[in-house]
Amino acid sequence: MKSWKNRSLIEARELSEPEIRAVLARAGELKKLWQGWRGSEFPHQSLRGKTVVNLFFEPSTRTRSSFELAADRLGAHVLNLSPEGSSISKGETLFDTAKNLEAMDPDLLVVRHASAGAPYQLSKIVRVPIINAGDGFHEHPSQALLDAFTIEEAKGGIKGLRILIVGDIAHSRVARSCIYTFRTLGAKVAVCGPPSLIPPSVESLGVTLDYHLHRAIRDADVVMMLRIQLERQARNTPGGTRANTQFPSLGEYSRFWGLNVETVKELKQGAIIMHPGPLNEGVEISQEVATGPYSVILNQVSNGVIVRMALMDLILGNGGRSA
């Protein structure tokens, strides 16, 4: 097992089971500590004196706040940067920004970017550890770790579970990271969605495939719904306009691949429903289901902070000092 100390987290694909287990175990400890704590300063100040930079080139509220809170609870200084402008996206300015930041001696960069590979390419030019907080359609490894933590918490384990991921698999970094992580932990992963949103080579990732939700859902212990990202569907037409060419309408998507009170009836007893957020209520998931008894969606959000604390603690932590 590779040590987490000062290491970058770019891909869930590269993580071994013991490496994931180390994060989940630390998250468990920190969660206990967090729940039992009633004071002004969280006792585990392992990042005191460290600087964490949130470098978000793509708009994000929940992931950025999650990382920010996580770093803050552990005592780090947090700098939030959301550079904007078109020139930045191409990379030249990205690399320049990162080199400038590096010169200010931060201890960790948390990077989100709309282009696949941006955190990887940055990790080759700066010496600071980097956590990939989502790059294009590539990966979002901390999301997969928090999802694994949430599943284990709700189901008492993950090995052998049947996990169904539903939606736009082709354009989802969450789906990729989750598939790698869940499989590494011994779960059986299936994907479901319109064939136009499923990459042809998906089965090579070791997952099974079913285009029909009502059928796929019956076996599942965990159902993870992905956000349908309208902005990812549109494409430039030869006529110069933008059109949705991947499925006919949100209404039709919802009809066949949306989770609602009716589809949920097919679920096994004790199955759970997840969603990385933000939700398109009434599209991939109905309001009743999102807030219903199967749902662990808000647990994912609170565990997100805990798991990110665990990650930063492992990468940067000095063992922790009591306040």
Partner 1 sequence: MKPTENPRTNTFVLANVRLVDPVLGVDGEREIWVEKARVRQIAPKGALTEKKSREASSLPEILDGRGLLCTPGLVDLHVHLREPGHEYKETIATGTLAAAAGGVTSVVCMANTDPVNDNPYVTEFILAQARTHGKARVYPVGALSKGLKGESLAEIGKMREAGIVAVSDDGVSVMNSYLMRKALDYCKTFDLPVISHADDLNLVGHGVMNEGVHSNALGLRGIPAEAEEIIVARDVALARLTRGRVHFAHLSCWQSLVHVRRAKEEGLKVTAEVTPHHLCFTEEDVQSYDANYKMSPPLRTRRDIDALKAAIADGTIDCIATDHAPHAPRDKNVLFEYAANGVVGLETNWPVGLELVAEGIVTLSKLVEIMSVNPARIAGIPAGTLKEGSAADFTLSDPEAEYVLRGEDLHSKSRNSPYIGKRLKGRVMATFVGGECRWQAE
Query: What is the contact surface with partner 1 in residues (CB under 8 A)?
Result: 13, 89-92, 94-95, 113, 115-118, 120-121, 135-139, 173, 176, 199-202, 204-205, 235, 238
Round to whole Å and give the CA distance between 312 and 70. Answer: 8
Return the number of the residue (43 or 206) whose C-beta is nearest partner 1: 206
Query: Taking a C-beta distance cutoff of 8 angstroms, is the pair 74, 45 a contact?
Result: yes
| Greatest Cα pair distance in the chain | 64
Return the number of the residue (65 or 89) whose C-beta is nearest partner 1: 89
The minimum distance between CB 148 and partner 1, in angstroms, equals 19
The minimum distance between CB 195 and partner 1, in angstroms, equals 14
Alpha helices in 80-218 (DSSP H): 86-89, 92-103, 118-125, 141-155, 173-184, 213-216
Return the number of the residue (199 or 292) whose C-beta is nearest partner 1: 199
The minimum distance between CB 18 and partner 1, in angstroms, equals 22
Question: In terms of Cα–Cα distance, which of 255, 256, 291 is closest to 273?
Answer: 291
The minimum distance between CB 282 and partner 1, in angstroms, equals 28
Round to whole Å and give the CA distance between 96 and 115. Answer: 16
Strands (E), the chain: 51-56, 77-81, 108-113, 130-135, 162-166, 188-192, 208-210, 222-225, 234-236, 242-244, 272-274
Question: In terms of Cα–Cα distance, which of 37, 109, 106, 111 is closest to 320?
Answer: 37
User: Long-range CB contacts (< 8 A, 24+ apart) of 26-32?
Assistant: 26/310, 26/313, 26/314, 27/145, 27/149, 27/303, 27/306, 27/307, 27/309, 27/310, 28/149, 30/306, 30/309, 30/310, 30/313, 31/303, 31/306
The minimum distance between CB 237 and partner 1, in angstroms, equals 8
Return the number of the residue (56 or 137) whose C-beta is nearest partner 1: 137
Return the number of the residue (137 or 294) whose C-beta is nearest partner 1: 137
The minimum distance between CB 178 and partner 1, in angstroms, equals 14
The minimum distance between CB 210 and partner 1, in angstroms, equals 18
Return the number of the residue (245 or 318) whose C-beta is nearest partner 1: 245
